[in-house]
Amino acid sequence: MLVLLGISSLLSLAAALVLGIRLLILASRTRGVPELAMGASFIVGGFFGFLFLLVGNPAAGLAMAAPVSELLFRLGMSLIGVGVCFTYVFVWQTFRPDSSLVRTLSLTAMVCILASFWAVWSHPIEAALVDPVHLFGEAVRMGGLLWGCIEALRYYAAMRRRLALRLADPVVTNRFLLWGIAMGAGVVTSLTGLFMTVSGRVDPDAWPYLILGIFATISPIAQWFAFFPPRGYCEWIESSAAEAN
Amino acid sequence: MADSAVFECVCDVLERSSSLDRLESRGTVRLALKQAGLDARSVTASQMTVVLEKVLPEELTSRGVGDIDSLVTRIVSALACVEAGAQQDSPESVFARLGG
């Protein structure tokens, strides 16, 4: 299972780096806030945050002085939190840019996530991971992913109805589904990680590792197919939609 | 966010040209839009034209409205006069950009 987790980790890092750079280049052209937020989320949280977390994890087996690995671990946790803040911005700006309630809730969630870093930086790592402040921050982070998943799948349902009337592009319609799946897989991965931390079930042969490995693999693949779809995949989606109509 | 000018125009013509009152007209058009996966606040004239031709006739028939073909033609011609307002960035347009 460690091999599966290793493969999924490499996939996640590669997808986050490539997609992040691609979306930031797009944002520099379009000046669009959603692509800027999503690109920043991939680079800050998905690439640097996850990379520091992996390298700083004692299980990685890198011969590193404890203070250095702890610093990397703390940095990783914080950058992943900042990445989720960018995800909040993306979901808010994409799906509900005019709602003052959503703006207030999103900003509050971001403040909660940033404030929860206090636990990670002020306690020893083992204590910080089960500190109520950190756990609350984790819950808010998961809330952002869950919200993105629900908004994307809800919009996907509407896009399917448009597609039946030829009012939507099949590839764009499918992109909502894939992004919803990626966000949903992110929620399951975070929940499993949290369960392992709180319950202490960190044995690589235990079932949580299998769940973690599977969903951590699904997420980057879905993101890749959503934002960087291979030509053959697009053709398959288009021909399926044409047959259905 | 208010309903779009396109939606208001269709409801006005439908109310004036059929037996449906204001509330019924708006409800009927809203239901047709929902069936098509569209929203009254952001629907465009071209999207509404498809809804008028493919979804609305069935809704009007179920409400006992007669001479549907000429009614739809009248609404479609009225839509031509609606000015396209500034289009907001919809989730669809954002996701279309992200893959391009």
| Identity of the residue in B38, B54, B94 whose CB atom sits nearest the CB atom of A34 | B94
CB distance A86 to A38 below 8 Å: yes
Angle at A236 between CA A232 and CA A242, to 5 degrees: 145
Q: How far is B90 from chain A (nearest CA, A)?
A: 7
Q: Is some CB atom of chain B closer than 8 A to the CB atom of A104?
A: no
pLDDT, tens digit only, all 245 positions of chain A: 677 778 888 888 999 999 999 999 999 999 999 999 999 999 999 999 999 988 887 666 667 787 888 899 899 999 999 999 999 999 999 999 999 999 999 999 999 999 999 999 998 888 888 899 999 999 999 999 999 999 999 999 999 999 999 999 999 999 999 999 999 999 999 999 888 888 877 677 778 888 888 888 899 899 999 998 999 999 999 999 988 87
Chain B, 1-60: which have a CB under 8 Å from a chain A CB?
1, 35-39, 47, 50-51, 54-55
B35/A175 Cβ within 8 A:
no
Q: Is some CB atom of chain A closer than 8 A to the CB atom of B100?
A: yes
User: What average pLDDT does chain B have?
Assistant: 90
Structural domain containing residue B55: 5-99
Q: Is some CB atom of chain B closer than 8 A to the CB atom of A101?
A: no
CB distance B98 to A227 below 8 Å: yes
Tell me the domain boundaries of chain A: 2-228
Residue A47 is predicted with a pLDDT of 94
Read off the pTM.
0.90
Whose tokens are 């764009």? That residue is A172
Measured between CA atoms, the residue of chain A closest to residue B53 is A165
Supply A193's token pair.
């990680």
What CATH number matches the domain at A2-228, 1.10.3470, 2.60.40, 3.40.50, 1.20.1070? 1.20.1070
Q: Is some CB atom of chain B closer than 8 A to the CB atom of A208?
A: no
Domain count, chain B: 1
Q: Is some CB atom of chain A closer than 8 A to the CB atom of B80?
A: no
Supply A168's token pair.
């939507």
Picking from A81, A96, A98, the residue whose alpha carbon sits closest to that of residue A46 is A81
Contacts of B50 in chain A (CB under 8 A): 165-167
Q: Is some CB atom of chain B closer than 8 A to the CB atom of A38?
A: yes
Supply A25's token pair.
């280049």
